[in-house]
Structure 1
Amino acid sequence: MSKIIVVGGGPSGMMAALNASKSNHEVILLERNGELGRKLLLTGGGRCNITNNRDIEDFFDKVVNNKKFLYSSFYSFTNKDLLSYFEENNLEYKIETANDHKVYTKSDKSEEVIIALKSDLKANKVKILYNTKVVDLIIENNTVIGVKTENNQTILADKVIISTGGKSYPNTGSDGMMYEILKKYGHTINKIYPALIPLTVKESFIKNLQGISMKNVEISCKIKKKKISQVGDMLFAHFGLTGPAVLKFSSYINKYIDENELEISLDFLPSINSDEISKLIRENPNKNVINNLKGLLPQNFLKEIFNLLDLTDKKANELSKSDELKIVECIKSMKLTCNGSIGIKASQVTSGGVSVKEINSSTMESKLIENLFFTGEVIDVDAETGGYNLQIAFSTGYLAGISV
């Protein structure tokens, strides 16, 4: 039996603590807040998007950074394993097949996930110390032997698992402090970027579109001749763009927009070509253009498009060919200048963190410091929305827990 310290009581930390304890180790879980899983409560809009029900092989296509690193984690503890675990612990869930195969709690209450995990932690005799902030590691001869806490307490252990999260939502406890500690002991911390984040737009007219939601929009750009695109729902905001498609898109461009402006293109009807839109505009020649298009696009959006193009709505048979082309181009290829995001504090996920080159992907142990392990968002791995990031947390937590 070894003594294991787990630093951080989020999903990956709880899963690591559970599986270390099930291997008959003495486990102490240190949580800086007065409760476990504070950030977990926010996921899925408070509903907790536990995982995704796609085949585990499909998960790799949804990982944005360092997907190969996650092979051992994902296959050691798959989404099916996670759902079986929750079934065994009396958590009911539902699969929303029409909603990208996302898995939520049946009650739509994220606290039920925490209740199930806490109950299992108690059953497995994991000691939880709340309001305990770790401010340093104790390293001797390139081996971790314990931690120091904010109140000057030293807690010794045979092995330490770092599950402190990234820098997003710092009010939940993930303020990035652990990155500085790890850097001090030789670990490379890859630059931190906000991921799954609303984007800011330079054009001032965007404020006039604020609050308008759009279905199945293709948002795209080119970076170094490579096309990046996402299709899904989006929402105009006073600062720019948000919504599922925008959040996914942001994770693929966040490094570029950190230092550059980027032209992005919005196709509001990606399944209909330009000629078809022109026909629809002219379909009822005695009706106004907006009337002909209102079944395809929101009327308030169309009105703003006409204002933007300095056009007045008129009967289709009175519309000039050049104005028709302007309308079609705006619908099929609205150009905007993305000049950043709303920042790391509001991002759903942190991109960047401890370099995967310095972690053994088969065990989650540091290659630099013996007996030091990592899980979850503190590592430089992130994925699209849809339950994939939580699966990363649970899978890496499981693997670290069984490897100590």
Structure 2
Amino acid sequence: MAKVIIVGAGPAGIMAALSASKNNEVILIERNNEIGKKLKLTGGGRCNITNNRDIEEFFEKIVTNKKFLYSALYTFSNISLLDYFSSKGLEYKVEYDQKVFTKSDKADEVIEIFKRDLMKNDVKIYYNTKINDLIVEENTVKGVVTDEGKEIFADKVIITTGGKSYPTTGSDGSMFDILKRHGHMINTLYPALIPLVIKEGFIKNLQGIAMKEVIISTMIKKKKIERQGDMIFTHFGISGPGVLKFSSYINKILKDREVEIKIDFLPEISRDELSNIIRGNKSILNNLKQYLPQNFIKEILNILTLNEVRVSELRKEDELKLIQYIKEMNLTVEDTITIKGAMVTSGGVSVKEINSSTMESKIIKNLFFAGEVIDIDAETGGYNLQMAFSTGYLAGMQE
């Protein structure tokens, strides 16, 4: 029986261990004192397991290297994953935007299922163990070296150590340095699914105001990037699901320059309809407050010095400025918050050096990769977790 070492007990590592344990002796190495630490944070702690969309539609939601993921996602799809959880007694529910959560809203249920299954499959778990190096001879991996200098030998090693976001969960990026030493190309790491820092000072006055289903857009190389979702104003800029989705399309550009964006706060209402709403009664504020948060309207009227103006006194040019702020607010994104605050890391091991049908390294024989350590990322909504489970399963099943 072959021996397989898996480094990192996040979603990709756990699924790789379960997949590999069918025909192999498996050792799962985790630097924390528990498995699935980052898994507990997904979906705001509720565990957004996957997305219920047809697997073909997943590819529209993948931001980086979607073609690389065809084999993995079709080998172990979202349906395969949900069938697995159902067979273990997990009840789940499908919410807005086809996001799948545990019925109880507790990530611990998922962790407990994994723990029981790993134990049932005789997977040995080494907790509180960090890997400092790989043992590589003649371009073939032979095992790993722990931070205490202990050598553990194996026939196959699967790296599932994640990216560089949420370093407190163990994904501090240190594995990338080890892989570089052994000849692997590591593409630049960027924060993905991350709040945006806005240049305009008036944003601070909108702090805490939440907006529903806005459309955020920009032009990148003559191509329009547009994403819709909820957002919230913060002391530094903007956040929320819609912003996080959008951030993954501009994160690389922000390294070199600022990005001008536009926000439509009422995408379902045309400019002409909005004009009629504004001029409905005596008070502009009263006319708009059934469509937008009152504090938001007050601040916009204040910026435009229209807070004391009655509808009958409203000049056409001021009305157009007001409509502009609501339908096409121009903001300047100057940065993201640090990668430590990103939900996902973009960048990592180059997919050019990984066989997409097996997840095996093209540089080092018997070395495999799965999950966020690879240069793949997707929008928010359960897609990144599914990619981790799928690549983990595929890497684990290889003989």
TM range (shorter): over 0.9
Contact 1:288/1:313, CA 8 A, preserved across alignment: no
Question: In the alignment, what sits opposite 2:6?
Answer: 6
**Match runs of 1:214-233 below 5 Å:** 214-233=211-230
**Cα offsets for 1:19-52 (capped at 9, x unmatched):** 1001x20000000000001000111011000001
Structure 1 counterpart SS, 2:197: strand
> Matches of 1:313 and 1:276 in 2, distance apart?
23
Q: What is the aligned-residue RMSD (CA, Å)?
A: 0.8
How far apart, CA to CA, are the structure 2 residues paired with 1:243 and 1:302? Answer: 20
Q: Could you tell me which residue of structure 1 aligns to residue 55 of structure 2?
A: 56
Task: Return the letter of the residue paired with 1:199.
Answer: L
* Structure 2 residue aligned with 1:35: 34
Tell me the equivalent position of 2:247: 250
Q: Tell me the distance in 1 between the aligned counterparts of 2:229 and 2:125.
A: 41
Contact conserved, 1:10 with 1:39, CA < 8 A, in 2? yes
Residue 21 of structure 2 is matched in structure 1 by: 21
Match of 1:316 in 2: 311
Using the TM superposition, name which of 236-245 and 216-225 deviates more. 216-225
1:371 aligned to 2:370?
no
1:393 to 374, 385, 388: 388
- How far off is 1:261 after superposition? 0.6
Whether 1:149 and 2:146 are equivalent positions in the alignment is yes
Residue in 2 aligned with 1:382?
377
Asked if 2 retains the 8 angstrom alpha-carbon contact of 1:202 and 1:336, the reply is yes
Number of residue pairs matched? 399
Q: In the alignment, residue 327 of structure 1 is paired with which amino acid?
A: L
Residue 252 of structure 1 aligns to a residue whose secondary structure is coil
Shift of 1:369: 0.2
Paired residue for 2:85? Answer: 86
Contact 1:102–1:387 (Cα < 8 Å) also in 2? yes
Secondary structure of the structure 2 residue equivalent to 1:254: coil
Q: Deviations over 1:131-176 (max 9, x none)?
A: 0100100000000000000111000000000000000000000000
Matched, 1:339 2:334: yes
| 1:346-382 superposed Cα distances (whole Å, 9 cap, x missing partner) | 0000000000010000000000100000000000000
CA apart distance, 1:315: 2.4
Does the aligned pair in 2 maintain the 1:198–1:342 contact within 8 Å? Answer: yes
In structure 2, C-alpha distance between the alignment counterparts of 1:258 and 1:229, rounded to whole Å: 20
Structure 1 residue 258: deviation in Å?
1.5
The residue identity in structure 1 corresponding to 2:386 is Q
Residue from 173, 177, 189 that aligns with 1:180: 177
Unaligned runs of 5+ in 2: none
CA distance in 2 between partners of 1:202 and 1:343 (Å): 16
- Deviation of residue 223 (structure 1)? 1.4
State how far apart, in whole Å, the 2-side matches of 1:371 and 1:38 are: 27
**What aligned pairs does 1:166-177 form with structure 2 within 5 A after superposition?**
166-177=163-174
Q: How far 1:281 moved relative to its partner?
A: 1.0
1:351 to 342, 346, 349: 346
Per mean C-alpha deviation after superposition, the further-off stretch among 319-328 and 352-361 is 319-328
What is the CA–CA distance in structure 1 between the aligned matches of 2:177 and 2:129, rounded to whole Å?
Answer: 18
Q: Distance in 2 between matches of 1:310 and 1:253?
A: 33
1:329 corresponds in structure 2 to: 324
TM-score by length of 2: 0.99
Output one character per residue of 1:209-254: Cα deviation in whole Å (capped at 9) or x when no partner.
Answer: 0000001111111112111111111000000000010000000000
Q: Secondary structure at the match of 1:29?
A: strand
Q: Which amino acid aligns with 1:252?
A: Y
SS at match of 1:345: helix
Q: State whether residues 33 and 173 of structure 1, in contact with CA within 8 Å, keep that contact through their aligned partners in structure 2.
A: yes
Corresponding position: 1:121 with 2:118 = yes
Q: What's the CA shift for 1:190?
A: 0.4
Q: Give the drift of 1:307.
A: 1.1
What does the per-residue CA deviation read over 1:182-227, in whole Å, with 9 as the maximum and x for residues that have no partner? 0111111000000000000011111000000001111111112111
What secondary structure does 2:27 align onto?
Answer: strand
Partner of 2:65: 66
Q: How far did 1:293 drift?
A: 1.0
Partner of residue 208, structure 1: 205
Residue 320 of structure 1 deviates from its aligned partner by 1.2
Q: Which runs of 4+ in 1 moved over 6 A?
A: none
| Aligned AA (1:82) | L
Cα distance, 1:312 vs. partner? Answer: 2.2
Unmatched tracts of structure 1, length 5 or more: none
> 2:291 maps to what in 1?
296
Q: 1: distance between equivalents of 2:93 and 2:325?
A: 40
Q: Is the 8 A contact 1:364 1:400 kept in 2?
A: yes
Distance 2:269 2:263 in 1: 14
Q: Contact 1:209–1:237 at 8 Å: present in 2 too?
A: yes
